[in-house]
Chain A
């Protein structure tokens, strides 16, 4: 018996919850060992993520990053490609945003520049995804290796440019000049305040809406279009895809372009949403965490939104934890995240045999009747 013989709600609902509980239990034990009350810490984290003033906005802001990078991993995964390069693709996407804005913000009206910057993020990310795709499809270089390498290349390019020709004149830090006024995505709290709601300040911006649209887009692409059908077919059986008259090499490149574009759009949230200039390391690991998000979300957009929300809450609530407790440091919060990634990613099916056993023993009385 395997996962496919379990009802879907167990596979995509119960198992991730069990994994989460296991991760939090282990984290709780460690927090208890260092002498804090794990339940109090948990309470602080939840309040820090959802309850305090502006907390929700911050949580959703981080969630946006995870949605983009998680979707990027998931799309590639449907073609059985492990895109580990979300980090690099996001960096290059940010570079795309930066280049478009820096070149055009003095000549075009801000709104037009923003409208052009959005596809630029996607296009630059796509290029950074499609090169490893091409190497895999036409030269047989393994996508995992090449995408990892492309993260390093992207990182070096960013340093080279930001400490070089893109560095703001008269500046000492590796970043571009600030974008012209008005070149940013609308902040949600500002929009809501304008509409008369009283909302506290947070960096949550239009990217969140774009991310949700991307979720719908990915779902529609994968499950409702012929291209999505062919992508999934390629993922399951290349031979069958060739037999059906499609070229898996083309599909691989196309999928990597889509995946890279999604990862690249993560930069919208950071660069066009809050920073309004290109800085080094704005991706700060979101690309890698996207792998865990996709795993936990079972490569389905809805699962990815939920997993992103979890990681967003951890990010934001974790910062609060760091703030409240002397003993719980930033590293401790990273460890909790690590445990969640470990249990929901690497050990995703840890509890499956037990669940299968319990499930089939519960079903037996009706099954054999």
Chain B
């Protein structure tokens, strides 16, 4: 009855199964999101599901949490066949879910968030007292300390996630599904999360971890299931596999996890930033006294925990955000608060920008790929310069060219942008920006939500740009990405630069410390300036 592969991987058939999915099928229109998917999760283990974007992980999880109902197949929870028609059914069956984007009311307290939807009676205060008492038991048992009276929006992301976990446990979850839980966390917060998962597991909670980060799979899971294009490829015991093997299973071909860094010869400075400061209208200083320069033929990585001024830095350099004080010099043009530059002027100075948020900025999702592929280049020479007419045929031809040279699939310019996978969307943005032959390239989170196969491709493209003499500024929250691509690394904390180090002279520990706000004032940093 149970899936044979997993029994083999497990070595015995005696352990009870928390989740057992049998031949799940789900079709959306002409897309088969899940094809005969089987999954057996042993109670009290951490079970990972890996797969690229669009492999069917989210669909599977949504079926398990009652958002979608499967077209066919059976679901059994703790050996009992169940029909999950809504999230309420799933909660009743003891399933809890921590979404990638938290489902919390920001201006409610932790306690209010936890009891939301589970208020006891009409007297809120009495219900809250009752909830507080039972939450005390839960927090002690699982070691999940959090201030119940704190307002959620004041809490760091790691604690907000803890609130989500508490919420699920308070609703009686014995099975916890975590969907890409580390995407928003710092390395330290990730470690803390993994500690919590360990405690939960020791208390008999079953955890289903959905991720695309192979390192995390290796670090915390007991078993791992690999999905590819809607199908389960294999179920493995984590101890008996390795990232390379998993990556190959996910993509279906051998992949390079590290494109291979080769030092490059940097040329003259292309962009100089001096004492850049940005104060928001709210009075918050998002960027404070940041100085750096970036040279021809080098990649300057900007490391830092998300939300420490990197996004603002990119937007200032791209002309989207106004400078409060300080200067940015590109060639002869000195951009200051008094003489601001618009995004189009900056573009004219030879700068291209691959934005962090490709959904809100890089692309226009309801537009066709052909339309998205000219965003910001409507008046470029290839589109007829100043002519007011935008020819659909020219757009389609241009898009087709970009698609074939950047291997975008499907190579169909008339397809809506939102129908492409994350990796292919990013390739469209990258193709558009790189094809303008920029002297300076700003890249924000180039591989966020991008599948492994495409990461390899994108990294190669960035190296190729650097080797052609482009000055690249790379912002990424993935420290591994910064470390594998950059020639020099600037670390940001609370809007300030904690220093710039040569990659050759540093290591992840030092960068990690700087990310936490410790200025390691070693002499070699000064040299790197």
Contacts and interface: CB of A to CB of B under 8 A. Distances in A.
Interface of A: 1, 4-5, 223-230, 232-233, 236-237, 239-240, 242-247, 360, 363-364, 367-368
A251 B343 CA distance: 16
B343 A244 contact: yes
B389 A236 contact: no
Given A223-B392, A236-B364, 6 more contacts: A224-B390, A228-B390, A233-B375, A239-B357, A247-B342, A367-B27
A359 to B, nearest CB: 9
Given A224-B389, A363-B29, A367-B29, A237 B364 contact: yes
Given A236-B364, A240-B363, A245-B342, A226 B388 contact: yes
B378 interface: yes
A226 B390 contact: yes
Secondary structure at the A interface, as helix, strand, loop or mixed, is: helix
Nearest to A364: B27
A242 B29 contact: no
B124 interface: no
A364 B319 CA distance: 50
B416 A360 contact: no
A251 to B, nearest CB: 12
A236 B360 CA distance: 9
Contacts of A233: 364, 367, 375
Given A4-B416, A225-B388, A363-B29, A236 B375 contact: no
B209 to A, nearest CB: 29
Interface in B351-395: 353, 355, 357, 360-367, 371, 374-376, 378-379, 383, 387-392
B30 interface: yes
Nearest to A244: B376
Contact of B29 (A224, A230, A360): A360
A245 B29 contact: no
A78 to B, nearest CB: 11
Interface of B: 27-30, 32, 318-320, 342-344, 347, 353, 355, 357, 360-367, 371, 374-376, 378-379, 383, 387-392, 416
Contacts of B387: 226
Contacts of A242: 320, 343
Contacts of B366: 4, 236
Contacts of A5: 28-29
B367 A245 contact: no
Q: Which of A229, A232, A247, A360 is packed against the most chain B CB atoms within 10 Å?
A: A229
A1 B343 contact: no
B367 A236 contact: yes
Contact of A240 (B28, B318, B319, B375): B375
8 contacts: A1-B28, A4-B366, A224-B392, A229-B374, A232-B367, A233-B364, A242-B320, A246-B344
B505 to A, nearest CB: 35
Nearest to B395: A229
B360 A237 contact: yes
A232 B366 CA distance: 10
B361 A237 contact: yes
A243 B28 CA distance: 33
B424 to A, nearest CB: 18
Nearest to A4: B416
Contacts of B375: 233, 240, 243-244
B378 A230 contact: yes
Given A5-B29, A244-B343, A364-B27, A227 B388 contact: yes
Contacts of B365: 236-237
Given A243-B355, A243-B361, A244-B343, A229 B29 contact: no
Contacts of B27: 364, 367-368
Contacts of A229: 371, 374, 378, 390
B360 A239 contact: yes
Contacts of A232: 364, 367
B360 A240 contact: yes
B361 A225 contact: no
A240 B371 CA distance: 13
A345 B298 CA distance: 56
Contacts of B392: 223-224
Contacts of B379: 226
A244 B375 CA distance: 6
Contacts of A1: 28-29
B463 to A, nearest CB: 25
A229 B374 CA distance: 10
A298 to B, nearest CB: 14
Q: Please provide the 3 A-B residue pairs with the shortest distance between their CB atoms, ordered closest to farther.
A: A245-B344, A244-B376, A245-B343
A5 B30 CA distance: 10
A363 B28 CA distance: 11
Given A224-B390, A229-B371, A233-B375, A243 B30 contact: no
Given A224-B389, A226-B388, A229-B390, A240 B364 contact: yes
Contacts of B30: 363, 367
Nearest to B343: A245
A243 B367 contact: no
A364 B26 CA distance: 12
Q: Which of A5, A228, A245, A368 is packed against the most chain B CB atoms within 10 Å?
A: A245
B393 to A, nearest CB: 11
A79 B375 CA distance: 16
